[in-house]
Amino acid sequence: MERQIINKKKRVFSLEPNKNPSAVFTRKYTSHLVPALKKLNMNKNSSKQTVKHEVDMALALSAQEFAWSRFLLQKLSSSTNPTTTTSSSDGIRILERSDKEGGNKEGEIEEKLRELQKLLPGGEEMNVEEMLSEIGNYIKCLELQTIALKSIVQDST
């Protein structure tokens, strides 16, 4: 009890807690994902890929102010079997890259930028400057997404 009082004293709230972008995103994300999962449950024909689909869909829907979310939505809606964002081939690629000796310095950087573009949904359609700023908020949203997923998984086990 005392501890709670002490904690309350130390708590600092912002004036508009609902506007905190991380909280806003997470709230939106869970509000999209959880009902979708429930619906999946109902249908009883859920496969791994469909859950992933829902996960990506929730991500795209909760971050609609960014360009990459549009591309992600397009990708999801166009394909019934959505391509996974990562695959084991990516892992192999990481190893290859570290083994390769760099030749041209400028060429290396160009290559890496291209790879980064491939990672970002829709990255290949953007130019480098745009892509770099989009990558920033994509990373942020991915982080929040993993936190949300973790706590969903956590809570249900």
Partner 1 sequence: MDLSVLDRLKWLQQQQMVSPEFLQILGSDGREELKRVESYLGNNNDELQSFRHFPEFGPDYDTTDGCISRTSSFQMEPVKNSGHSRAISLQNKRKPEGKTEKREKKKIKAEDETESSMKGKTNMSNTETSSEIQKPDYIHVRARRGEATDRHSLAERARREKISKKMKCLQDIVPGCNKVTGKAGMLDEIINYVQSLQQQVEFLSMKLSVINPELECHIDDLSAKQFQAYFTGLPEADSKQSIMADFRSFPLHQQGSIDYSVMNGTKDQTSSSWETHSQCIYNSLRTDSVTNFFSLK
**Number of neighbouring beta carbons within 10 Å of residue 76:** 20
**Residues in contact with 108: Cβ distance below 8 Å, sequence separation at least 6, in sequence order:** 102
Least distance from partner 1 to the Cβ atom of residue 143, Å: 5
3 state SS of 102: coil
Least distance from partner 1 to the Cβ atom of residue 11, Å: 6
- Measure the CA–CA gap between 70 and 100, rounded to whole angstroms: 35
- Measure the CA–CA gap between 79 and 77, rounded to whole angstroms: 6
Least distance from partner 1 to the Cβ atom of residue 137, Å: 9
- Measure the CA–CA gap between 15 and 12, rounded to whole angstroms: 10
Q: Which of residues 78 and 99 has its CB atom nearest to partner 1 in the complex?
A: 99
Q: Which of residues 70 and 152 has its CB atom nearest to partner 1 in the complex?
A: 152
Amino acid at 156: S
Amino acid at 44: K
Q: Which of residues 11 and 78 has its CB atom nearest to partner 1 in the complex?
A: 11
Q: Which of residues 2 and 129 has its CB atom nearest to partner 1 in the complex?
A: 129
Least distance from partner 1 to the Cβ atom of residue 50, Å: 8
